Amino acid sequence: MKTVLITGCSSGYGLETARHFHAQGWTVIAAMRTPREDVLPRSDRLRVVALDVTRPESIAAALEASGPIDVLVNNAGIGLMGAFEVTPMTTVREVFETNTFGVMAMTQAALPGFRARRSGVIVNVTSSATLAPMPLVAVYTASKTAIEGFTASLAFELEEFNVRVKLVQPGYGPSTSFTSNGGARMQGLIPEAYAPFAQRIFASLGQPSAVTQASDVAEVVWRAANDASGQLRFPAGPDAVALARST
């Protein structure tokens, strides 16, 4: 029986991915910044652990509690939308601390175990924002694009130890907590000069031709985790797949 550790499981893609792996018979370690036992089924194959990917001691404690794992899914992330011109650099750093450095720190902490056992898979969840330029998400896109480059290089580095590294690129998911978990950070990030432009963008987001569901991402993360080919990137959701095909 295989074990997966998934970060950011309190809602959205992470929560659905935890459910999906559990349904496939895996042991699931569902990591959350604020643990909630009520969002997942009670099972001897499912454990909820506390994890803040921006704190080294929290990462160490979560991995110690998890024991040996076969797959690490770096899903935890925070959203940000607004004009870059008025985005405080403290906010930029906050986004990178979770979306970029948090992923790197989790990966680095898990690698000794994978390398010693000469097996394991790391799945890094980024965004379809890395597939084509999108307005008002410059900082968010930068934080995710950094992980794309990091992952592509790391995949070569770890081939020697039979450790696979994959990227999953979800499309636009209106059902996720992208806006709510970035709400406080987004206050005042649409100044008056940008308002007409922003209104057009928000209007287009309200009428998308295709969107990504959490189940789409869960299924693709599962596929990536079990993929033995050399494929690196896995777009998730019809809009992400269309973007990937057009680039």
What residues act catalytically? 140
Give the list of residues 6+ apart from residue 232 with CB closer than 8 angstroms, or none. 151, 152, 155, 165, 166, 167
Kindly calculate the radius of gyration of the chain based on its CA atoms and give it in whole angstroms: 18
Of 17, 13, 215, the C-alpha closest to 5 is 17
The single-letter DSSP state of residue 194 is G
In one-letter notation, the amino acid at residue 7 is T
Rounded Cα distance between 155 and 168, Å, is: 14
The SS3 call for residue 233 is strand
Of 145, 183, 185, 193, the C-alpha closest to 167 is 145
Rounded Cα distance between 189 and 243, Å, is: 27
Of 178, 157, 170, 160, the C-alpha closest to 221 is 170
Tokens 């597939």 sit at which residue? 131
